[in-house]
């Protein structure tokens, strides 16, 4: 067109007019974008999210304008979250509200903050866009994966703990707390015969017993640097916390009181309490527990526990040791043994077991296998010494911990050891 203006003044005027009109349109569209009312955004989500599980977050965006609004929506979620389905581009009808969903997967526990929602508003004619941030910050608690805990709970509730490796035991007639009288069965022992009742009814009557209730169970949980190790993208502390909650659930169903003491930088004491609400209290108190870079001070923790816990209890120490920790840990357990029954759950890394199963193809593999074998042999020797001193030990991986703890607890209950 510019070429034509050389020959015809009318084309020149038309070209100038088009330019002025286009500039005016751009300025008007820009002004309209500046004065756009900001849409309201409401985030709908649970107060608590499970760790390592996918949850749905819903956003409701209301368009206050009398014409449709196109915007690109991006929620300002916690940076550590894994997300999908964001950002999203939507056209919102005039004075209407739309809903959108996206999915988040929190990789760790604790308090996490959604700082706001970012909107990119497109102008009426699509020539401009403007970024606006809605201040709708929310804090959410990320709990241990209660999808797994629910599975454990349902299995326990329906008397099917054996599906996760927890053995079922015949309880009738065992224990040391009198329950009731009943007819004698061939499988009963003679010590269960109640001779006075048998004489009265002219038939054999047996005494039934149950495991003693109202006992104390305390978990001494290491939250130090050793528990930061991850097996299959999950920290050992997370597995230990799941195991502690499962054990607490089983123990309170047995009528026992459950408490916890943490060590290794984040030191918390929860005195033993009974009742079905105890597990929820533990969950609400310990959901933000994190492994610290500090070493666990076993002796200080043992002395503190002996001070605050006067009644004899089953103390389960959950930790991850190295050779340099063994002397202090043994001394601490000896302190605890003066007043309590102690069980040591010493976690080892899954990668050690996997490394021993690999084929040896060269000298480096042979050297690694030899060093691992020596390390694990020394570890077994240390645990054997502890057992010789009357200390029950569990040398297990973090994945094996939940079932192993509950089985050992049930063994102790059945044997009336506490």
Per-residue pLDDT tens over the stretch 185-227 = 666 666 667 677 677 777 777 765 554 567 899 999 999 999 9
pLDDT of residue 170: 46
In the chain, % of residues over pLDDT 70? 79
Alpha carbon distance 253, 317 (integer Å): 21
Is residue 5 pLDDT above 60, yes or no? no
Alpha carbon distance 152, 237 (integer Å): 18
pLDDT band at 172 (very low <50, low <70, confident <90, very high): very low
Judge if pTM exceeds 0.85. Answer: no
Question: Residue 174: which region, alpha, beta or left (left: phi > 0; alpha: psi -120 to 50)?
Answer: beta
Alpha carbon distance 57, 54 (integer Å): 10
* Average pLDDT, integer, range 218-244: 89
Structure tokens at 199: 């004489």
């Amino acid at each position: 067109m510019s070429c034509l203006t050389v020959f015809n003044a009318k084309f020149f005027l038309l070209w100038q007019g088009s330019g002025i009109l286009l500039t005016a349109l751009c300025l008007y569209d820009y002004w309209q974008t500046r004065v756009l009312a900001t849409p309201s955004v409401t985030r709908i989500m649970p107060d608590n999210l499970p760790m390592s599980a996918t949850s749905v977050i819903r956003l409701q965006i209301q368009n206050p304008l009398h014409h449709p609004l196109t915007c690109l929506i991006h929620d300002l979620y916690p940076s550590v979250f894994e997300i999908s389905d964001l950002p999203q581009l939507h056209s919102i009808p005039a004075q209407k509200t739309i809903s959108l969903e996206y999915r988040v997967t929190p990789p760790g526990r604790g308090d996490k903050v959604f700082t706001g929602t970012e909107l990119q508003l497109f102008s009426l004619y699509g020539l401009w866009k403007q970024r606006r941030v809605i201040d709708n910050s929310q804090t959410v608690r990320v709990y241990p994966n209660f999808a797994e805990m629910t599975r454990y709970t349902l299995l326990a509730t329906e008397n099917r703990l054996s599906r996760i490796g927890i053995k079922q035991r015949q309880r009738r007639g065992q224990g040391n707390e009198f329950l009731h009288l009943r007819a004698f069965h061939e499988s009963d022992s003679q010590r269960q015969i109640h001779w006075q009742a048998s004489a009265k009814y002219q038939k054999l009557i047996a005494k039934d017993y149950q495991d003693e209730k109202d006992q104390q169970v305390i978990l001494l949980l290491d939250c130090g640097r050793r528990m930061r190790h991850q097996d299959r993208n999950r920290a050992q502390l997370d597995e230990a916390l799941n195991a502690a909650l499962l054990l607490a659930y089983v123990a309170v169903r047995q009528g026992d009181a459950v408490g916890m003491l943490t060590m290794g930088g984040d030191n918390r004491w929860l005195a033993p309490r009974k009742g079905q609400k105890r597990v929820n209290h533990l969950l609400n108190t310990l959901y933000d527990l994190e492994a610290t870079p500090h070493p666990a001070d076993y002796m200080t923790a043992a002395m503190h526990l002996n001070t605050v816990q006067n009644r004899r209890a089953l103390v389960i120490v959950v930790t991850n040791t190295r050779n340099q920790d063994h002397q202090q840990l043994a001394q601490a357990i000896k302190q605890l043994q003066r007043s309590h029954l102690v069980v040591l759950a010493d976690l080892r890394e899954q990668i050690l077991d996997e490394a021993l199963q690999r084929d040896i193809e060269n000298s480096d593999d042979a050297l690694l296998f030899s060093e691992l074998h020596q390390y694990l042999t020394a570890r077994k020797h240390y645990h054997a010494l502890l057992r010789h001193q009357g200390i029950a030990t569990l040398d297990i991986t973090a994945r094996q911990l939940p079932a192993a703890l509950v089985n050992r607890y049930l063994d102790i209950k059945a044997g009336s050891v506490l």
